Amino acid sequence: MTLARRINRGSFFAVGVTAVLAISACTPTFNLTTVPLDPNPEVEIRSFPSTAGLVDPDVPIQFEATGGILTDVSVIGPDGAVSGILSEDGLQWTSTQSPLEYSATYTLEATGSDSRGRTQVLKESFSTIKPEKFFSAKVSPTNGQDVGVGLPVVVTFNKKVENQAEVEQALIVRTTTPILGAWSWASDRVVEFRPKDLWPGGTQVQIDVNLTGVEAKAGVFGKRDTRTSFAFRSAVVSVVDAQTHTMDVFRDGELLRTIPVTTGKPGFETRSGTKVLLTKERSRIMDAATGGTSTSDPEYYRVNAEYAMRLNYTGEFVHAAPWSTGSQGSDNVSHGCVGMSTTNAQWWWNENNVGDVVIVKNTPRGQDNDGNGITVWNEPWTEWLIRSATGAQFTKPLQGQVPEAEFAVASVDG
């Protein structure tokens, strides 16, 4: 058997040696000289974040290897091992468990190996920050609700927020399809999210409030992360035209019915604008005295209105008005409410719920985003963005729905 055949069959293999071949007339012989391996491995391991000081719990832990690959990583905290993922090339490990705990110590150990099988081990530990003051948030709509497309997402904080951009970045809006929207601050404790246009009907929404490690202001940190999931119903939008004295009722863009109505008469004009239904009552006593009208005033009234739904806080409703059926469809005779026949009001009341939208147009009295009801849709988009610290943004995909990269492409295309 020749030397070449013996090596190819794997019956001979030498590592870290030099071989001198002496050939005689009959049989080859070998003289072997041992060459010692370099005991210092070429692989180097670095960890992030720095372990020199206290660490924010929302910062992911990472290990990187140069001159070799990572072969084993272990991060242990108060609740046991911290999960992570190793890159395909073996050069980087990143924790996937976020956030870490406050006031906790974590021990890190990583092993790397170079191309000659030599290993390097890195052992470190760090502690997370220990806040003395916390802030928290409450989200509306609440978990599990099924709401109308006129409701904005409202996040209310229990303490004043000075670092508005940092807090906005911690509020993630996820939806079934990409939607362009923006956060806007109503006060230093309240921030609202709305799309540029009304929410699409049937949209599933998830709000991730990732406050752990976030400072509302110096020394005040988010207490915990929360998640709220809800859905928007079919888009029910009613358009009231005070000049034609009609109400067109749409569901998801399809016209369901045109209803003769009456709106506010001169001196009591209904406010024009986009309004959101606030309450739903089978019947309600309408008393002009609650608005400051004296019982001796000719404009005083007290009636029982059936199928009533509130439009704002100063007394505008949509309701049955059997006393004005002769004017419905031809004249405006109310004190600011939208009135219709009892039959039409019953049908409309059954089609609508809190959060659905009523758009009033062609009256001389306007309505701004003044807080008299849910009036966010009356503010021009450019003005809404002025009070946003992070600007317009597309929503992100629901977790487990589609890859975020594909969702981003759909956002741009949309």
Angle value at C-alpha 106, between 105 and 110, nearest 5 degrees: 155
Burial of 176-206, coded b for 16+ CB within 10 Å and e otherwise, reads: bbbbebbbbbeeebebbbbbeebbbbebebb
CA-to-CA distance for 237 and 151, rounded, in angstroms? 13
> Residue 346, by phi and psi: left (phi above 0), alpha (psi -120 to 50) or beta?
alpha
- The answer to whether 174 and 215 have CB atoms below 8 angstroms apart is no
Element containing residue 393 per DSSP (H, E): strand 393-394
Catalytic residues: 319, 337
User: How confident is the model at residue 50, as a pLDDT?
Assistant: 78
Strand partners, 64: 46, 92
Q: What's this model's pTM, rounded to 2 decimal places? A: 0.81
pLDDT value at residue 291: 76
* 318 CB neighbour count, 10 Å cutoff: 28
- Alpha helix positions (H), 81-129: none
pLDDT value of position 12: 31
Query: Do strands 146-147 and 225-232 pair parallel, antiparallel, or not at all (unpaired)?
Result: parallel
**pLDDT score at 296:** 83
Query: Which DSSP state fits 78?
Result: T
Q: Which domains does the chain have, with CATH numbers?
A: 3-34 (no CATH), 44-127 (2.60.40.3780), 133-233+388-413 (2.60.40.3710), 236-378 (2.40.440.10)
Q: Token digits for 234?
A: 């079919």
Residues in contact with 331: Cβ distance below 8 Å, sequence separation at least 6, in sequence order: 245, 262
Tell whether omega for the bond before 260 is within 30 degrees of 0, i.e. cis: no
| Contact status, residue 143 vs residue 228, Cβ threshold 8 Å | yes
> How far is the C-alpha of 131 from the C-alpha of 138, rounded, in Å?
21
**If the chain, 414 residues long, is cut into consecutive pieces of 10 residues, what is the mean pLDDT of each piece?**
34 38 47 56 89 86 96 95 96 92 95 94 94 96 97 98 98 97 98 97 97 95 95 98 98 98 96 97 88 82 93 95 97 97 98 98 88 94 97 93 72 64
Asked if 342 and 331 touch (Cβ cutoff 8 Å), the reply is no
Peptide bond before residue 99 is cis, with ω within 30 degrees of 0: yes
Confidence at residue 36, expressed as pLDDT on a 0 to 100 scale: 54
What is the structure's pLDDT at 410?
Answer: 67
Tokens describing residue 141: 């709509």
Residue 214's nearest CA partner among 262, 171, 271, 155 is 171
